[in-house]
Amino acid sequence: MELLCGYSSICFSKYLKENGKIDTIERDEERAKEALENIKQMELSDKIEVFIGDAVEILPKFNKKYDVIFIDAAKGKYPFFLQEAIRMSKKDTLIVADNILYKGYVMSDYNKHKQRTAVRNLREYIKEASEDPKLETEIFEIGDGISISKVLS
């Protein structure tokens, strides 16, 4: 299977407003290098910045507010990513999380040891995103599940 690293950022870049920018984080150096190469080939290097490292360490250093925040990384860290996303949001920011239903495990009674932590954290993400009064959240059963939260204030 061919992996197109940077694919999401490249797709999102089509919808950037004039002078809009994308920041993306990748902790795997090889994938980050490949993403940089793909971004360069698409002539998007001035629009997409790739930060190499663990998002758990890098995100707390970000102090910008974003219009759209896309979460598509370690599932065990989704509740942390949600809190960071809320911190970097403003009214009408969209927080999008991919793989939120994780092969159907999240909405089933799945409790096997193997993916238990990921499933527990994805369930926690859904609970927090659904119950936070600052967010309006919808879960879509598309692909592996997508959650979209609109920040209300």
Ligand X SMILES: C[S@@+](CC[C@H](N)C(=O)[O-])C[C@H]1O[C@@H](n2cnc3c(N)ncnc32)[C@H](O)[C@@H]1O
Among 49, 48, 52, CA closest to 13:
48
**Least separation in angstroms between CB 123 and ligand X:** 19
Out of 13, 16, 44, 72, name the contact with ligand X by CB under 6 A.
72
Q: Which of residues 49-68 bind ligand X (CB under 6 A)?
A: 54-56
Q: Is 71 exposed, middle or buried (0-12, 13-18, 19+ CB in 10 A)?
A: buried
Q: Which of residues 101-120 bind ligand X (CB under 6 A)?
A: none
Q: Which of residues 1-60 bind ligand X (CB under 6 A)?
A: 5-8, 25-28, 31, 35, 54-56
What percentage of the chain's residues is helix, strand, coil (to nearest 5)? 40, 20, 40
Which residues of the shown chain bind ligand X in the complex (CB under 6 A)? 5-8, 25-28, 31, 35, 54-56, 72-74, 77
